[in-house]
Structure 1
């Protein structure tokens, strides 16, 4: 449980919302509706004193956002049942997966056909590339910019090319020896050719240079192709989480 709690804390710190407010040891997070992770109550700690549902509902309703709780294996045991009984819908079941950096490197090979571009801060062009590859609305640009600007300083925004064609993007950050992977997207025309594995290898190499011993990532349980890829290169699920949402 200690490892699960530590990774939940590191993962939360690596994805900071524009608005954050403490509720006991929990944290109310809001980011103009861009990503559930940044617009949910972080609950991986002891239950706060008082009526937490009322406080959370007032907070999100004042911002015009649905009320959303992030529930992990480190959350209080009865919390999920309490929210279900209050009419909160369960959505987006995810794995939190971890791997040692050495395992990732031993399970992957360097593909020299790719070229890389690194940015310490996400440029508008990089954010536009990410949004386009994901198929998201351009209106999400500012929301992602808010998160990326507030990430801890040890971070990188990565783009990979093959013969000058944008192949994939990804993000990594390092906190307390843990490298977090996020925003990994491969262009549709380049999928199934080893690009995803190469992104993870390149970002892991960067994380090692910046003090990481372990890597972690979050993936939807229903994304079987991604889960299978991650397992092949050394990742294993350490915990699960999902969201409880009331619109």
Structure 2
């Protein structure tokens, strides 16, 4: 089994040591933060479908050993064919040995390499606080809710440049997210500058939908947002935190590294459109 490790904008393949890699621990937790509209288990694996919106919610989370059923691939492809969707696999360090090579041989193309990054909550809180003091954004207000209100959801679609047609999907997704969860927005003069969602399970906090308005990037707003997410999650008992970020998003990766995050492992998708 191999994972991708991010180094200076290049991807290199390195052997995975499952005893030390956090992927096997975090992947199942992270999957709970993005629940699909419909899902079923194929033994250890979770098969997910959500009208084709996002790869994460429309892919097989291949964690653990292969299914014992020798027809597992045919059955998965038949399921996605019945949903009028491409077959997609989420392949990570928690996937069984040889899966990536098997899918490639079956015509699945590699898509969206991502990083799984983790950090100590206390370290991120301290670093983000220091950055916050340096930036001195005293006029920014932080507002938390336990579910996204209409303004939060509208701003989310706008900042992510998602079409209005996705509103119902994301509203349902946020409602399905498990407790404890919180939705934050940073405001200045009535304008939403940034958004984020925090979810806590055990000692781990996961952050998703972390986005800053394009007109306010590079001004330290990201540090304010990460400080708010970290402080809230620590109040819920989290001691560690993780993020899943597209590897090519260098500004985001750089921000997280400055806050103490390290790339624990990588994952990507394997996609087959012609079923």
Q: CA shift at 1:116, angstroms? A: 1.5
| In 1: Cα distance, 2:159 partner to 2:221 partner | 14
Q: For 1:7, which of 26, 42, 50 is the aligned residue?
A: 26
TM-score under structure 1 length normalisation: 0.97
| Residue aligned with 2:85, SS | coil
Aligned to 2:80: 60
Aligned to 2:265: 239
Aligned to 2:102: 82
Checking the alignment, whether the CA contact within 8 Å between 1:25 and 1:48 is kept in structure 2 is yes
Q: CA shift at 1:124, angstroms? A: 3.5
Q: CA shift at 1:113, angstroms? A: 2.6
| Residue aligned with 2:241, SS | strand
Which 5+ residue runs of structure 2 have no aligned equivalent?
A: 1-17
Q: CA shift at 1:223, angstroms? A: 0.7
Q: For 2:122, which of 68, 82, 102 is the aligned residue?
A: 102
Q: CA shift at 1:33, angstroms? A: 1.4
Which 5+ residue runs of structure 1 have no aligned equivalent?
A: none
Residue 171 of structure 2 is aligned to residue 151 of structure 1: no
Residue 42 of structure 2 is aligned to residue 16 of structure 1: no
CA deviation profile, 1:163-206 (whole Å, cap 9, x unmatched) = 22210011000001100001011111111101111111101000
Worse-superposed segment, 226-235 or 143-152: 143-152
TM-score under structure 2 length normalisation: 0.87
Q: CA shift at 1:58, angstroms? A: 1.2
Q: How many residues align?
A: 247
Aligned to 2:14: none
Q: CA shift at 1:225, angstroms? A: 1.1
Worse-superposed segment, 119-128 or 148-157: 119-128
**RMSD of aligned C-alpha atoms?**
1.1
| In 1: Cα distance, 2:262 partner to 2:138 partner | 27
Q: For 1:30, which of 30, 38, 49 is the aligned residue?
A: 49
Checking the alignment, whether the CA contact within 8 Å between 1:17 and 1:146 is kept in structure 2 is no
Q: For 2:67, which of 23, 48, 61 is the aligned residue?
A: 48
Aligned to 2:111: 91
Aligned to 1:114: 140
Q: CA shift at 1:13, angstroms? A: 1.0
Checking the alignment, whether the CA contact within 8 Å between 1:70 and 1:241 is kept in structure 2 is yes
| In 2: Cα distance, 1:112 partner to 1:46 partner | 51
Q: For 2:220, which of 174, 194, 197 is the aligned residue?
A: 194
| In 2: Cα distance, 1:180 partner to 1:113 partner | 27
Task: Report the structure number with the largest CA radius of gyration.
Answer: 2
| In 1: Cα distance, 2:48 partner to 2:148 partner | 21
| Residue aligned with 1:158, SS | strand
